[in-house]
Structure 1
């Protein structure tokens, strides 16, 4: 993932790691179907597009776990 995103950045690749990690943390995992933000903070972050355009699925509820 890092190599594909930073392929054309040359020597300035470290300047773009913040954007890459933010994207990774906001993407749902295939096996858990939950984002890393939800797992660590208990909520999803609001991305700039969510603030500008609104997002119908914004939820601050904790994920349901199987017992």
Structure 2
């Protein structure tokens, strides 16, 4: 999960990170105010926009897949 300075969150599979901490996510989903706004696919997030990133526990991913 990546949270931006502006409050948006993105959840996806981390594909790559460069030396500047630019992030590439695959199968990314956008969340605004905790609500999913849809699947974006593959995205690149520029480093200066990132507030923080955190890992999502595997069991949380499995639960969401079961709900779909």
Higher helix share: 1
For the criterion TM > 0.5, the same-fold answer is no
Q: TM-score, normalised by structure 2?
A: 0.25
- Look at both structures and tell me which one has the larger radius of gyration over its CA atoms: 1
Which structure has more RCO (C-alpha within 8 Å, separation ≥ 6)?
2
Higher strand share: 2
Q: TM-score, normalised by structure 1?
A: 0.26
